[in-house]
Amino acid sequence: MQHVDVLIVGAGLSGIAAGYHLGSTCPDRTYEIWEARDAIGGTWDLFRYPGIRSDSDMYTLGYSFRPWKDQKAIADGPSILRYVRETAEEFGIDRHIRFGRKVLSASWSSTDACWTVEATDTSTGEAVKVTCQWLMMCSGYYDYDEGYTPEFEGLESFAGAVVHPQKWPQDLSMAGKRVVVIGSGATAVTLVPELAKQAAHVTMLQRSPTYVVSMPAVDPIAERLKKLLPQRLAYDVVRWKNVMYAMTTYEFARRYPAKAREFILDRVREHLGGAVDVDRHFSPTYKVWDQRVCLVPDGDLFESLKGGRAEVVTDRIERFTPAGIVLQSGRTLDADVVVTATGLKLKFLAGLKVTVDGEEKQPSSMLMYNGVMLSGIPNLGMAFGYTNASWTLKCDLSCAWVARMMNHLRDHNYRMVMPDPAPPVKPEPLVDFNSGYFLRSMNQVPRQGHRAPWRVYQNYLLDLMLFRVKPLAGEGLIFR
């Protein structure tokens, strides 16, 4: 049976980061990246809906070790995909990727101090096995096979096309069509202005509003610094500027929710200029950052609404008809195409069946250690990002920490490290977040503790100290 020192699952943003840190920090270890799809890119290769783009700036969504060079800070999907693939090629990470490997199970043996991972070769259907000392999960947190669509009464009677953004047909034309986009999150606010360029009319139908803020697609400060400083230095300065801005605004919002709400809504009113009822359509009932704030580059959503090419309707769906949607208010929305931008389904650890010495482990019964490992599971790390900032920021730290930990094991003649199976801490929900996709799946994900190192922080500066400065052999870890 084949053996590698580290098996990385997933060849998206975080999988490529893991490959980089292993290659640079542990050059004496062998590793492979198993990817279920046939291409590098993860999310950015999967999603092909019109206008797909980043929902945070690329100076923080990009890697710490490779500058983002494009002009746009809020970048389109193809540009991000190119950046990920070029990074993999530049550092030779692409040579370690095995495509079409869909992982099914991972079994740890304390006797052998290694994992046995089973997968299916998607091109042949054959079973594939590998043993590894360390398993690194970089597969994201949602189901790649399908998105979330609520049950709508009469949906089967609708005569038009129904599309989920996760399964966007490339031959679907919106020219001259009446389109209803159901949803109010990041995908919906991205789709609406893009579809409005072709469709006869686009309606964003939302059950409740979301906080929406506008940001320049091109960062003017970054562009000035690029002219004054060397490229790498300019990138680092802008990256830290954006990190500190995001942290400051988040902390302000959590401490002064009423003022943060007022500030955001005042900016929305300025953009819309009275064209839309802001109190009804852009004023959520929850506090700022109870859910992720939606970002629109250069106010493109607001411009579509002001120009009449799109409208926003806040109401609930009563039923579908052959011609469209009947709302609870009695209004009918005629539609040729309905886009269900209704969210994701979570799939923790890529749906992997995990056993330790023959005992199956359920993620919901475990606590996260430093946001990287799971209580009671040896030699398994994961890349799990921030909910209030760019996903890559923490994934980058997590991957570097695992590489350091592997060297620590080697230097001290250890073969295994495991977070305490039953830490003396109070369990709490994994994230302080009430977005639908998290609430629907809380019984499937692990929890966090009330204090470090079992606390999953949403603070980059604090994590920077924990991941890079704090000794590896700390509280809560068992070495053998």
pLDDT of residue 140: 83
In sequence order, which residues have a C-beta less than 8 Å from that of residue 451 and are 6 or more positions away?
A: 425
Instruction: Name the token pair of 321.
Output: 């008809």
Q: How sure is the predictor about 351, in pLDDT bands with cuts at 50, 70 and 90?
A: confident
pLDDT of residue 146: 82
**195 within some domain:** yes
Please give the Cα distance from 189 to 296 (Å, whole number): 7
- 11 and 122 in a single domain? The answer is yes
Mean pLDDT of 418-432: 89
Which residues are 53's β-sheet partners? Answer: 76
- What's the pLDDT tens digit per position in 260-272? 999 999 999 999 9
- 168 and 269 in a single domain? The answer is yes
Domain end residue (candidates: 305, 340, 375): 340
- 239 and 332 in a single domain? The answer is yes
Q: How sure is the predictor about 172, in pLDDT bands with cuts at 50, 70 and 90?
A: very high
Whole-Å CA distances, 185 to 5, 57, 392: 40, 17, 20
DSSP annotation of 53 reads B
Mean pLDDT of 163-173: 93
Domain end residue (candidates: 294, 314, 340): 340
Average pLDDT over all residues of the chain:
94
Q: How sure is the predictor about 345, in pLDDT bands with cuts at 50, 70 and 90?
A: confident
Can you tell me whether residue 169 is helix, strand or coil? coil
Please give the Cα distance from 140 to 142 (Å, whole number): 6
pLDDT of residue 344: 83
Q: How sure is the predictor about 477, in pLDDT bands with cuts at 50, 70 and 90?
A: very high
Please give the Cα distance from 204 to 402 (Å, whole number): 43
pLDDT of residue 346: 81
Overall number of domains in the chain: 2
pLDDT of residue 433: 65
- 187 and 296 in a single domain? The answer is yes
Its sign, for the CA torsion 145, 151, 154, 159, is negative
pLDDT of residue 434: 62
Instruction: Name the token pair of 430.
Output: 């994994």
- 167 and 279 in a single domain? The answer is yes
**216 within some domain:** yes
- 357 and 292 in a single domain? The answer is no
Pairing of strands 127-137, 2-9: parallel
* Among the ranges given (135-144, 364-373, 378-387), the one the predictor scored with the smallest mean pLDDT: 135-144
Amino acid (one-letter) located at 429? P
- What's the pLDDT tens digit per position in 448-472? 999 989 999 989 999 999 999 889 9
- What's the pLDDT tens digit per position in 259-309? 999 999 999 999 999 999 999 999 999 999 998 999 999 999 999 999 999
pLDDT at 405 over 70: yes
pLDDT of residue 308: 93
pLDDT at 399 over 70: yes
pLDDT at 188 over 90: yes
- Which of 423, 478, 421, 474 has its CA nearest to residue 449? 423
Can you tell me whether residue 411 is helix, strand or coil? helix
Q: Give the predicted TM-score (pTM) of the model.
A: 0.94
**80 within some domain:** yes
pLDDT of residue 440: 65
Amino acid (one-letter) located at 431? V
Instruction: Name the token pair of 163.
Output: 């599309």
pLDDT at 22 over 80: yes
Q: Which domain holds residue 222?
A: 155-340
Confirm if 179 and 50 have CB atoms less than 8 A apart. Answer: no
pLDDT of residue 437: 59
**58 within some domain:** yes
- What's the pLDDT tens digit per position in 82-117? 999 999 999 999 999 999 999 999 999 999 999 999
- 392 and 438 in a single domain? The answer is yes
- 117 and 169 in a single domain? The answer is no
pLDDT of residue 173: 93
- 308 and 416 in a single domain? The answer is no
Confirm if 388 and 60 have CB atoms less than 8 A apart. Answer: no
Report the share of the chain in percent with pLDDT over 70. Answer: 98
**150 within some domain:** no
- CA-CA-CA-CA dihedral for 429, 430, 436, 440, to nearest 10: -70
In sequence order, which residues have a C-beta less than 8 Å from that of residue 402 and are 6 or more positions away?
A: 18, 21, 22, 134, 136, 372, 381
pLDDT of residue 5: 98
Domain end residue (candidates: 340, 361, 381): 340
pLDDT of residue 105: 97
* Among the ranges given (56-60, 237-241, 443-447), the one the predictor scored with the smallest mean pLDDT: 443-447
Residue 76 belongs to domain with CATH number: 3.50.50.60
- 280 and 382 in a single domain? The answer is no
**423 within some domain:** yes
pLDDT at 385 over 70: yes
- 381 and 461 in a single domain? The answer is yes
- Which of 362, 363, 367, 361 has its CA nearest to residue 425? 367
- 208 and 254 in a single domain? The answer is yes
Please give the Cα distance from 203 to 313 (Å, whole number): 7
Please give the Cα distance from 99 to 122 (Å, whole number): 9
pLDDT of residue 435: 62
Long-range contacts of 298-304, Cβ-Cβ distance < 8 Å, separation of 24 or more:
298/214, 298/215, 298/216, 298/217, 299/214, 299/271, 300/193, 301/189, 301/192, 301/193, 301/212, 302/214, 302/268, 302/271, 302/272, 303/193, 303/271, 304/192, 304/193, 304/196, 304/202
**72 within some domain:** yes
In sequence order, which residues have a C-beta less than 8 Å from that of residue 104 and are 6 or more positions away?
A: 118, 119, 120, 352, 353
**231 within some domain:** yes
